[in-house]
Amino acid sequence: MIQSLQNILSLAEQSEALSPEQKKAIADWIKEAGKHIDIITFKLERTEKVKRTTSILLEETIEELEQKRKAIEETNTALTRSLEELKAAQAQLIQSEKMASLGELTAGIAHEIQNPLNFVNNFSEVSRELLDEMKMALDNDEKEEAKELAEDVIQNMEKIMHHGKRADGIVKGMLQHSRSSSGQKELTDINALCDEYLRLAYHGWRAKDHSFNAKFETVFDESVGKINVIPQDLGRVILNLINNAFFAVNERANTPQPPKGGVPYEPTVIVSTSLSPLSGSGVGGGVIISIRDNGTGIPAAVVEKIFQPFFTTKPTGQGTGLGLSLSYDIISKGHGGTLQVETTEGSGTCFTITLPQQA
């Protein structure tokens, strides 16, 4: 019992004013109060203990949280680094896709340049002979004859210039393709652009693979004319779609199959252009470019994935899986147009680009 209660108890016991009953009653009350105080003290001590334990736990928890925060921070740094590395790798891949498609073009370009070059060589040779004849005519004082010969040479020179310019244009186009896109829209002859890439792609395939055998056709609507596009970018899209189409027909041609109704398979790629009708209010007309092939077609489960970056069904080294995803971005983000696909497994595929006429 605490001292102050003990003092009260001794005082009461010594008091002569109190009866023995009263003294007993006071002693009982004081004992009772003592018990209460003991209980309260016990409870207080317990609370104190709990408080101490809780604060220890709290400190531990804070420590743990701090460790977790640090771990998260480290993970974040690592993630940021990986993201940067991924971005760099992606940029590299985009560049290598461009280089791969340029590689595919090289053979086609060589073929296309060979033709004008042959003209230039032939006409130079003929012109040289004509000039020899002209010299002889002048020696013989045959003025009229010399004049006619000079006229022929002039005509030849014009042809040489024409073919020289053609080769020049092809080389310029090639350089344009390999340069990073200017991002500038220019009035561009859509039919000419399609025609150029179709020829380059076709001759590229022919040069690379001598057994390659496919037909190509163009169905151009002359009223399409020129529209504002980024020519290098649109060129890459068209080239990729045409290369995919030639790949698909080649694949089908190389897969043994029974001829349908005795008709032999004729691998064909058709590039067509047209004007899309204006909407009811008279606006929103656009240019449609479609690249159709009668190749392998795409199974339903695959077609959902073809626009995803890096998705390819081609053997390593033959496909980057970036063509369609880049094409999709170029058409939608770069030109405000659409790129759609229709396909039937086993009979062919058609990709359709729609470009707004006033881009």
- Residue 295 lies near ligand ADP (rule: CB under 6 A): yes
The span of 29-37, 184-192, 198-206, 242-250 binding ligand ADP (CB under 6 A) equals 242-250
Q: Would you count residue 29 as binding ligand ADP (CB under 6 A)?
A: no
Long-range interactions of 252-259: CB distance < 8 A, separation 24+: 252/294, 252/295, 252/296, 253/213, 253/214, 255/296
Distance in angstroms between the alpha carbons of the first and the last residue of the chain: 98
Give the residue, chosen from 173, 267, 319, 337, that forms a contact with ligand ADP under the rule CB under 6 A. Answer: 319
For residues 245 and 269, the answer to whether their CB atoms sit within 8 Å is yes
How many other CB atoms are there within 10 angstroms of residue 320's CB atom? 19
By CB under 6 A, residue 293 contacts ligand ADP? yes
- Please give the C-alpha separations between residue 95 and each of 98, 182, 203, in angstroms, as whole numbers: 5, 15, 23
267 sits near ligand ADP (criterion: CB under 6 A): no
Type of residue at 195: D
Nearest residue to ligand ADP, scored by beta-carbon proximity: 323
From CA 337, how far away is CA 349, in angstroms rounded? 20
CB of 105 to Mg ion, least distance (A): 13
Q: Which two tokens stand for residue 270?
A: 């058709």
Whichever of 41 and 318 has its CB closer to ligand ADP, that residue is 318
Interacting partner of 235 out of ligand ADP, Mg ion, none (Cβ under 5 to 8 A depending on kind)? none
SS3 181: coil
Q: From the list 320, 331, 337, 353, which residue makes contact with ligand ADP (rule: CB under 6 A)?
A: 320
* Residue 12 interaction partner, one of ligand ADP, Mg ion, none, beta carbon < 5-8 Å per kind: none
| Closest residue by beta carbon to Mg ion | 323
Question: Closest distance between ligand ADP and the C-beta of residue 218, in Å?
Answer: 17
| CB of residue 218 to Mg ion, shortest distance in Å | 20
Q: Which does 312 bind (CB under 5 to 8 A by kind): ligand ADP, Mg ion, none?
A: ligand ADP
For residue 293 the two structure tokens come to 């092939």
Query: Which window, 107-115, 175-183, 229-237, 318-326, contacts ligand ADP (CB under 6 A)?
Result: 318-326
Residues 273, 287: contact at Cβ < 8 Å? yes
Q: Are 350 and 270 in contact (CB under 8 A)?
A: no
Amino acid identity of residue 306, one-letter, is: I
> Rounded to whole angstroms, how far apart are CA atoms 68 and 59?
14
Q: Choose which of 200, 296, 331, 353 interacts with ligand ADP (CB under 6 A).
A: 296
Residues making contact with ligand ADP (CB under 6 A): 240, 244-245, 248, 293, 295-296, 298, 302, 306, 311-314, 319-321, 323-325, 349
